[in-house]
Amino acid sequence: MSKKIRILGIAPYEGLKQLMEEYACQRKDLDFVSLLGSMEEGAALAKEYYSDFDIIISRANTADLIKKSVPIPVIDLGIGYYDILRCLKTAEATHTKFALLGHPSLTKAAQTLRSLLKAEFPVFSISDTATALHTLHTLSAQNYQTVICDTVAYEAARKAGLTPILLTSSAESLETAVNHALYLWEISQKSVVTLSMLKETLKTGFGDYLLLNENGTLLYSTLQGNFLQAIQTQLQKEVPSCLSKERRSFFITAANKLYAVSSRFVDTAPESYLIFCLTPSKLPVNHSKYGISILNREDTQNTLTTSICNTGSHAKKLRKDAKSMKKFSPNLMLTGEYGTEEDCLAYLYYIDSKLHNHPLYKINCDLLNEKNWNFLINSFHSPFTDNDNTIYISNLQKLSAEKQKWLLSVILDTNAHVRNRFIFSCCKEYKKPAPAVALEYANALDCIVIPVAPLREQKTDLPSMCALYINTLNEAFGKQLIALDDDAICALTEYDYPGNHAQLKRILKQAVIKTNSLYLSNSVIQDILVQERQLFPARIDTASSSCIQLDCNLSLDEINRCVIQQVLKNCNGNQSVAARKLGISRTTLWRSLNRG
C-alpha cells in the first residue's frame, strides 16, 4: 500500500503511552502517534485530533467513551492472560486479601484465568465510577486490602482505603490491537467523515470565563488554543465538587501560573451549567520554588497514590486516626525523622478533614526566601488572613529561633489558628528527640502531637511497601517486574534505613532501573545497599540491635533455638531464607524449633 495507516493511540496511563511510543518506532509502515489521557480527558483528546487519523486505539472505559465521541473506528486494546497473571503475582506478593475488578473486556479474561488456576479471588465487572465506588466500599467492609483494577477504579480504590494494582497491557496485546486495526482499515477503506466544528472565541468582560455543562463539556470560553485545553482539563476535575455547591472558590495551576477560580452552579432548563471565572492570583507562588504552594484535594490524593507510606498496617492505623478526627479537624504537630514523608501524612489528614473542599496552603520553611517570608508575615493577601483553609507548615525546625518566635506571635495575634486549621511538621535527627520548638508550638496552639514512626519500626509492612512501590515504578518506567525475590526482601528488611522511606524509595527506583528480568534479585539490592552504607554509615544502637544476648547457663539445644528464633525474626518469619542464612536445611530448622 502506498498510503500509511494513521493510528492515534490514547493511553489511559503513562506506562502504556511509553509502550506505544516504543512500538511505533518498530513499525515504519505506520503513522502511529500516542497521547496520554484517561476517561473524559482521553475522549477530549480524541475529539480534538481524530480528523488527522484513520483509527484510534485505546483501552477499556476510555475506549468506550471515545467511541461515543468520534465518527472513526475505535479499537479496544484488550489485556492478555499474561498481563493478568503478572498482576496476580504482584498481588500475592503483598500477602493481603485481594480482588479483581474492571471493564468487562478485562474481567472476562480474568474469570477464564481464575478457572484455569482454580483460584478463589473474586472478580467484578464495572463500567462506571459509581459502580466502582460501591464495589470497593463493599470489599473494604469485607476486609479486602488490595484490588487489581483498571484506571476507572484506581483512584476510587485509594479513596476507599484499598491498595490498587493497575492492570497494565503488554506489547503482545498492543500488537494484536494494531493488527486488528490494520484489518479493519484494509477491508473498509472508507473515508473518514470530516467534521470541523468551528467555535468563535469571544472576548468580553475583565476576566476569563469558561462555561461547562454537568458532564464537563465546554459550552463557551473566552480562552483559546492550548491554554484553553490546559484550563479545561483542570476545571473538569473540579466539576463534581462545584456541582455540590452553588458557589465555590479554589486555585488551579496552568502554564506555570496560579489562578484563583470562582465557580457558580446555574440549575436552569433546558440545561444546567457551571460558570468559572479565572483571575491571576496575587500570591507570589510558582510551583513551590520559593516555599509556598497551594494544593487541592486532588493534588494531595495524587501524591498519596504513589506514596510508599500509603500501604500496610501502619498506614491503615493512620487512616483510621485521620477519619476519627474528621469532625473536629484539630491543629496537628507531626514529628518524625528526616525522610519519613511527613508531607504525605499531612495530606492524609487534610483529605479526611471537613475542610477538604477548601485549599491547602503548603509552606516549606526550608525553601522560604526573605520576600516570601515578608509576604507571609506582613501582606494582606497572606494565607493567615484567610478563613476555613488548611495551612501546612513543614520543616519548622529550619527557621531561625527568631523567626520561629515571630511566626508563632503572628499566628496567635491574628487568631489564625482558630479561623483555619494548622498542620506543622518538625523533623528530628536519627533516634533523637523532637526539637524544642515542636513542643512550644504544640502547647501554644493546642496541637495534637502525631509521632511519625521511622521505617525501621515498620519492617512488617516493608514487603507490601516494596511490592506496591514496584508497581508504581512499573507504571512510570513501562516495566513489568513482578516482585523482589526472598533473599532481596530479607536484605532490605535487615537494613536500618537512616534515611527512612525516602531512602527506600531511592533504593527501589535504582533497582528497578537496573533490572531487565521479572524479579528484582538479591545481588542488585546488595550492590545498592553497599553504596547506601557508604553514604550513611551504620549507627549501632545496642538497645535495639539484633545482636543476640546468650545465657551461657542454657543447654546447647536451647542456645541453638535462641539463635534460630532471632534469625527467623530478622527474616520476617521466612523459614527458607532463615535456613539458608544459618547454613542448614529447612527440615533441620523446623526440628530445632520444635524439639522439646
- Of the ranges 2-6, 141-145, 269-273, 592-596, the best mean pLDDT one: 141-145
Asked whether the predicted pLDDT for residue 6 surpasses 60, the reply is yes
Q: Per DSSP, which regions of 3-97 are E strands? A: 5-11, 30-36, 55-58, 74-76
- Which residues have C-beta within 8 Å of that of residue 146, sequence separation ≥ 6? 91, 94, 96, 97, 98, 99, 162, 163, 164, 165
52 shares its domain with 182: yes
In whole angstroms, what is the distance from residue 197 CA to residue 211 CA? 17
Asked whether the predicted pLDDT for residue 282 surpasses 90, the reply is no
316 shares its domain with 423: yes
Q: What percent of the chain has pLDDT over 70?
A: 91
310 shares its domain with 399: yes
Final residue of a structural domain among 450, 470, 504: 450
Question: Does residue 248 or residue 399 have the better pLDDT?
Answer: 399
- Of the ranges 41-55, 249-263, 573-587, the best mean pLDDT one: 41-55
Q: Which of 22-31, 196-205, 510-519 has the lowest mean pLDDT?
A: 196-205
Question: Does a structural domain hold residue 525?
Answer: yes
Question: Does a structural domain hold residue 23?
Answer: yes
Final residue of a structural domain among 154, 187, 220: 187
Asked whether the predicted pLDDT for residue 475 surpasses 70, the reply is yes
For the chain, the domain total comes to: 6
In whole angstroms, what is the distance from residue 192 CA to residue 529 CA? 57
Question: Does a structural domain hold residue 540?
Answer: no
Q: Which of 41-55, 172-186, 496-510, 522-536 has the lowest mean pLDDT?
A: 172-186
pLDDT band at residue 199 using 50, 70 and 90 as cut-offs: very low
Asked whether the predicted pLDDT for residue 410 surpasses 60, the reply is yes
Question: Does residue 86 or residue 551 have the better pLDDT?
Answer: 86
386 shares its domain with 492: no
- Which residues have C-beta within 8 Å of that of residue 268, sequence separation ≥ 6? none
Question: Does a structural domain hold residue 263?
Answer: yes
What integer pLDDT is reported at residue 547 of this predicted model?
55
- Helix (H, G, I), strand (E, B), or coil: what is residue 263? strand
Question: Does a structural domain hold residue 197?
Answer: no
Angle at 12 between CA 519 and CA 92, to 5 degrees: 30
380 shares its domain with 430: yes
Domain span at 589: 556-594
- Of the ranges 199-213, 259-273, 443-457, the best mean pLDDT one: 443-457
What integer pLDDT is reported at residue 527 of this predicted model?
92
CATH of the domain at 577: 1.10.10.60
From 42, 3, 54, 23, select the one nearest 193 (Cα to Cα). 54
134 shares its domain with 266: no
For residue 272 the three cell numbers come to: 444546567
Q: For the chain, how many helices (H) and strands (E)? A: 23, 21
531 shares its domain with 573: no
576 shares its domain with 487: no
Q: What is the mean pLDDT of residues 459-479?
A: 89
What integer pLDDT is reported at residue 184 of this predicted model?
81
DSSP states of 514-580 as a string? H--SSEE-HHHHHHHHHHHHHHS-----TTT-------TTS-HHHHHHHHHHHHHHHTTT-HHHHHH
Question: Which is it for strands 123-125 and 98-102: parallel, antiparallel or unpaired?
Answer: parallel
From 98, 110, 153, 138, select the one nearest 468 (Cα to Cα). 98
Final residue of a structural domain among 157, 187, 217: 187
Q: What is the mean pLDDT of residues 120-134?
A: 86
CATH of the domain at 438: 3.40.50.300
Per-state percent for the chain, helix, strand, coil, to nearest 5: 50, 20, 35
Confirm if 416 and 391 have CB atoms less than 8 A apart.
Answer: yes
Asked whether the predicted pLDDT for residue 543 surpasses 50, the reply is no
Asked whether the predicted pLDDT for residue 296 surpasses 90, the reply is no
Question: Which is it for strands 448-451 and 332-337: parallel, antiparallel or unpaired?
Answer: parallel
Q: What is the mean pLDDT of residues 524-532?
A: 91
Q: What is the mean pLDDT of residues 485-513?
A: 91
What integer pLDDT is reported at residue 209 of this predicted model?
85
From 534, 480, 473, select the one nearest 506 (Cα to Cα). 473
306 shares its domain with 423: yes
pLDDT band at residue 541 using 50, 70 and 90 as cut-offs: very low
In whole angstroms, what is the distance from residue 514 CA to residue 169 CA? 22
From 449, 459, 207, select the one nearest 321 (Cα to Cα). 449
What integer pLDDT is reported at residue 145 of this predicted model?
92
pTM, full prediction: 0.53
Question: Does a structural domain hold residue 546?
Answer: no
pLDDT, tens digit (0-9, with 9 covering 90-100), for 317-342: 888 888 888 888 899 999 999 988 89
Q: What is the mean pLDDT of residues 535-555?
A: 58
Q: What is the mean pLDDT of residues 361-366?
A: 93
489 shares its domain with 394: no
Rg (CA), the chain: 27
302 shares its domain with 378: yes
Mean pLDDT of the chain: 84
Asked whether the predicted pLDDT for residue 152 surpasses 90, the reply is no
pLDDT, tens digit (0-9, with 9 covering 90-100), for 41-53: 999 999 999 999 9
Question: Does a structural domain hold residue 13?
Answer: yes
From 288, 313, 438, select the one nearest 366 (Cα to Cα). 288
Asked whether the predicted pLDDT for residue 287 surpasses 60, the reply is no
464 shares its domain with 441: no
Question: Does a structural domain hold residue 280?
Answer: no
